């Protein structure tokens, strides 16, 4: 009488199958965590651009010389452009917007210009931005 089933000769294949299932579960976990990290970094860049815009808008309602300071953090691979409008970008490489993706719509101030201090692009890093309103130029200047 022959019985069919899992015998001693099948155990190496069962171990191999168990290892394959564990590797698949680990790969799925790593992929999920990577997408969460990417989403958090993207949101940090968008939040930085919104914070700069909100502070610039608030300062533009003041008198000549009104200023405010804000600290913003921009993750690696992201940037914020300040040239007439505040826009967050993803895919920024070496300070270039050549192949970058626009993450937010251009945020402009009605009746008041907005300009970056030294350059029009803030790259990755943590910055303390000084936002100043000048009635002479009728613009808000964001320098870091």
Tens digit of each residue's pLDDT (9 = 90 or more) over 5-33: 666 667 788 889 999 999 999 999 999 99
Residue 63 has pLDDT above 60, yes or no: yes
Tens digit of each residue's pLDDT (9 = 90 or more) over 112-144: 889 887 778 888 899 999 999 988 888 999 888
User: For residue 3, is it within any domain?
Assistant: no
Parent domain of 97: 8-143
Residue 3 has pLDDT above 90, yes or no: no
User: For residue 1, is it within any domain?
Assistant: no
CB neighbour list of residue 62: distance below 8 Å, 6 or more residues apart = 133
Q: What pLDDT, on a 0 to 100 scale, did the predictor assign at position 116?
A: 85
Tens digit of each residue's pLDDT (9 = 90 or more) over 29-38: 999 999 999 9
User: For residue 83, is it within any domain?
Assistant: yes
Q: Name the pTM for this structure.
A: 0.78
What value does the CA radius of gyration of the chain take, rounded to a whole number of Å?
A: 26
What does each C-alpha distance from 75 to 9, 61, 79, 90 come to in angstroms? 53, 30, 8, 10
Q: Stretch 88-108: mean pLDDT, rounded?
A: 89
Residue 24: other Cβ atoms inside 10 A: 10
User: For residue 35, is it within any domain?
Assistant: yes
**Is 139 in contact with 112 (CB distance < 8 Å)?**
yes
- Average pLDDT of every residue of the chain: 89
User: For residue 2, is it within any domain?
Assistant: no
- How much of the chain is in helix, strand and coil states, percent to nearest 5? 35, 35, 30
Domain count, the chain: 1
Q: What pLDDT, on a 0 to 100 scale, did the predictor assign at position 6?
A: 65
Residue 1 has pLDDT above 60, yes or no: no
What does each C-alpha distance from 63 to 30, 85, 129, 133, 135 come to in angstroms? 52, 21, 19, 7, 8
Tens digit of each residue's pLDDT (9 = 90 or more) over 64-76: 889 999 999 999 9
SS3 129: strand
């Amino acid at each position: 009488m022959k019985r069919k089933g899992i015998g001693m000769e099948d155990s190496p294949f069962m171990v191999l199958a168990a290892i394959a299932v564990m590797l698949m579960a680990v790969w799925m976990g790593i992929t999920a965590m990577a997408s969460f990290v990417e989403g958090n970094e993207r949101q940090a860049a968008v939040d930085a651009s919104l914070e700069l815009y909100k502070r610039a808008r608030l300062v533009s309602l003041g008198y000549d010389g009104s200023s405010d300071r804000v600290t913003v953090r921009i993750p690696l691979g992201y940037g914020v452009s300040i040239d007439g409008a505040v826009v967050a970008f993803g895919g920024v490489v070496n300070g270039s917007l050549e192949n970058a993706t626009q993450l937010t719509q251009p945020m402009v101030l009605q009746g008041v210009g907005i300009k970056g201090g030294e350059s029009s692009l803030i790259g990755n890093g943590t910055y303390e931005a000084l936002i100043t309103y000048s009635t002479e130029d009728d613009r808000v200047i964001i320098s870091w």
